[in-house]
């Protein structure tokens, strides 16, 4: 409780956080604000309903995003987590030299601002898998050529990136 009170006091005092994320994956879902304190961070996070805070000792700025991600052996989950914590730009795009299978990472943009990434899925809810890079790029070209209706709170059409594990 002490951490939450301190975080709210910092916000009320107008003290900007040292780091901010919109984490759609990992230990923290929703918005994340962090202030450098002593030898770590005061991490304050929440979603539309709840908020939490914790003192994370011995966490450095470059490790804060790592702390937000959870351990997983699933390479696709790891890619989606990294995109949701660090942004889709942190995920390398597949190249002609890469071997398949290939997947399409879709990033949606909502007010807040909130950027969330997930894989394009098939009828069974599984990530859509492409044998070749060109097949995945063709899927993106078709999606971009179709009319797109923005969802509630969305301010732009999604962007797509071909990735591989």
Domain boundary among 14, 33, 68: 68
Q: Length of the chain, please?
A: 165
Instruction: In whole angstroms, give the CA distance from residue 16 to residue 57.
Output: 20
Q: Is residue 73 part of a domain?
A: no
Residue 1's pLDDT is what? 55
One domain, residues 94 and 157:
yes
Residue 78 lies inside a defined structural domain of this protein:
no
* C-alpha neighbours within 13 Å on the C-beta side of residue 18: 14
In this structure, the answer to whether residues 94 and 43 fall within a common structural domain is no
Paired with 34 in beta bridges are: 19, 43
Domain that residue 130 falls in: 88-164
Q: For residues 92 and 152, state if they share a domain.
A: yes
pLDDT at 92: 96
pLDDT given for residue 27 in this prediction: 46
Put the strands of the sheet holding 102-110 in their side by side order: 114-119, 102-110, 154-164
- Are residues 92 and 63 part of one domain? no
- How many H helices and E strands in the chain? 4, 7
pLDDT by 10s per residue, the chain, length 165: 588 788 888 888 999 888 777 655 444 456 778 888 877 788 877 765 677 777 777 666 667 777 777 667 889 988 988 888 888 999 999 999 999 899 999 999 888 667 889 999 999 999 999 999 999 999 999 999 999 999 998 999 999 999 999
**Residue 82 located in a structural domain:** no
Half-sphere exposure of 10 (CA within 13 A, CB side): 20
74 assigned to some structural domain: no
- 16 in any annotated domain: yes
10, 23, 43, 45 from 91: Cα distances, Å: 33, 15, 24, 24
Number of domains in the chain: 2
129 occurs within a structural domain:
yes
Contact 65, 59 (CB under 8 A): no
Same domain, 160 and 115: yes
């Amino acid at each position: 409780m002490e951490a939450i009170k301190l975080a709210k006091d910092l916000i009320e005092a107008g003290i900007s956080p040292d780091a901010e994320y919109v984490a759609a994956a990992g230990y923290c879902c929703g918005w994340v604000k962090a202030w450098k304190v002593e030898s770590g961070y005061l991490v304050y996070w929440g979603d539309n309903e709840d908020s939490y805070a914790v003192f994370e000792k011995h966490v450095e700025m470059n490790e804060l995003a790592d702390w937000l991600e959870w351990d997983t052996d699933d390479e696709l989950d790891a890619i989606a987590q990294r995109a949701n914590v660090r942004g889709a730009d942190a995920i390398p795009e597949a190249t002609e030299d890469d071997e398949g299978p290939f997947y399409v990472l879709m990033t949606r943009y909502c007010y807040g601002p909130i950027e969330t990434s997930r894989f394009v899925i098939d009828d069974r809810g599984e990530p859509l898998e492409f044998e070749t890079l060109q097949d995945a790029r063709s899927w993106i070209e078709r999606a971009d050529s179709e009319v797109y209706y923005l969802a509630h709170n969305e301010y732009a059409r999604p962007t797509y990136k071909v990735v591989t594990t």
